Structure formats: C-alpha cells, structure tokens
Structure 1
Amino acid sequence: MKFWMRIIVNAVLFMALAGFLKADFYVASPWIAILASLILAVLNALVKPFLVLLSLPITVVTLGLFSIVINGFMLQMTSALVGNDFHFSSFGIALLVAILMSICNTIISSYIGRNRHD
C-alpha cells in the first residue's frame, strides 16, 4: 500500500474508531485525524525501530505480543504530540485501538494487494 493511501486509511480508521469508542477516544475533526496519521507515520519511521530493538528480549519471550504494547505506546505519543484534539482516556484504550487498527490494516492491505494483482 502506498504511503498516502496508508495515511488516508489510518485517518479513516481513527475517525471510525473514535465514533465507535465515543467516551474513550476523541478525534476533533477529519483534518486532525489526517494530522495524527501523518505524525504516527513519522513516529513509526523514526522512533519505533529503536523501541523494537530495545524491547527485543521481552518481545521474544512474549512471542511477539509485546509489539502490541509498542503500538499502543506509539499511539499515546501521537496523542501527546497532536494535543487535546486527539486523545485516549487511558493506555488500555490506546492498546485496544492499536489492536483494532492492526486487524483492520491487515484486512485492508490484503484486499487492496489482492485486487492490484488481478
């Protein structure tokens, strides 16, 4: 999936999940969702590789499940950088959103990848 397509997909997922989790996850507008998606992409490119490397032992011990915690932490960092227009009520909600986004991105990526080859 191309970079801008992934940004748009993540922004749409942010808006959908914010609508689904109204009391726990807030996104002020679609523009804030796009901004948060861009910031998340930059953090994933610059910060996440170091976090993955530092947490490699615990990730191996948990059979990869600790990567969900890293994704939740990346969402919390995004929330801190965007401000009050994009926030989670708790770290647990950030983990839930990370899990749901991972599942949705996997489904969307496999669907788009399959259609591209037909």
Structure 2
Amino acid sequence: MKRFITLILVNVASLWLIDRVMRTMYIGSANTLFLIAFILVILNATLKPLMKLVFLPLTFFSFGLFSLIINAAVLSIAFSFAHGSYMMGFHTAIIASILLSIVNAAINSYLE
C-alpha cells in the first residue's frame, strides 16, 4: 500500500511539473491531477504490461521505440478519464510520456 501511494505522489509531482512546462497539456485542478495520477498508476499496472505483451514483436522490430507509443497511449487514456484536463494531439502525449519518464526517474532516484 505504501508503494502504491508513493507511486501516486511521484506521478502527481511529475504531472504537475510537466503541466507547467507544456502549453499543449492542461490539468484544471488538484483533484483532476490526483485522479490522473491514480488512473495512470492503475493503467501502468494492468493495461501497459498487456499492451507490451501484445505488441512485443513490433517493439522488438522497432528496437524498443514502439514502447514510446505504448506509454503515450496509456497517458492519453488516463487523461481521457479525467474531466477538466486535455492534451492537444498524440504528439503531445508522446512528448509528455518522455518527460514523465525522465521526471519520474529523477524523483525516484532522489527518494531512494
């Protein structure tokens, strides 16, 4: 349970920072921010491994670059569940997922 809450809080901090940096992404309120982070943790634990398994051959032949598309799709799905937030296009989701990975890794390395 503690790990689950830590993951949510790390995603909240990362999403808040990315929202401040990117103009093509908008999160309306703190409640929406926490909801997106919660949904993102759930999707990363359930849907993302399934998508990686299904698209394993495509990921293999693209030398792992297709995993960027999977990450962007999961982020877009999380945003679609939260009212009061939006992303302008799939290219924004790709850039945001790259930034989210970098910021999450930095925060997790600081916490450990």
Fold similarity call, TM over 0.5: yes
Q: Is the 8 A contact 1:25 1:87 kept in 2?
A: yes
- Alignment RMSD (CA, Å): 1.4
Distance across 2 between alignment mates of 1:61 and 1:33 = 35
Gaps of 5+ in 2: none
Corresponding residue of 1:71: 71
- What are the Cα deviations for residues 46-98 of structure 1, in whole angstroms up to 9, with x where unaligned? 21111101110011112212111101000111111113x12100100011010
What stretches of structure 1 move > 3 A for 4+ residues in a row? none
Give the Cα separation in 1 of the matches to 2:104 and 2:79.
20
Cα separation, 1, equivalents of 2:111 and 2:64 = 26
Higher Cα Rg: structure 1 or 2?
A: 1
1:6-29 Cα shifts (integer Å, max 9, x gaps)? 21121122122111112x100001
TM-score norm. by structure 2 comes to 0.91
| Counterparts of 1:112 and 1:44, CA distance in 2 | 20
8 A Cα contact 2:12 2:33, kept in partner: yes
Task: Give the length in aligned residue pairs.
Answer: 111
AA in 2 matched with 1:66: F
Contact 2:71–2:94 (8 Å) recurs in 1? yes
Give the TM-score of the pair, scaled to structure 1.
0.87
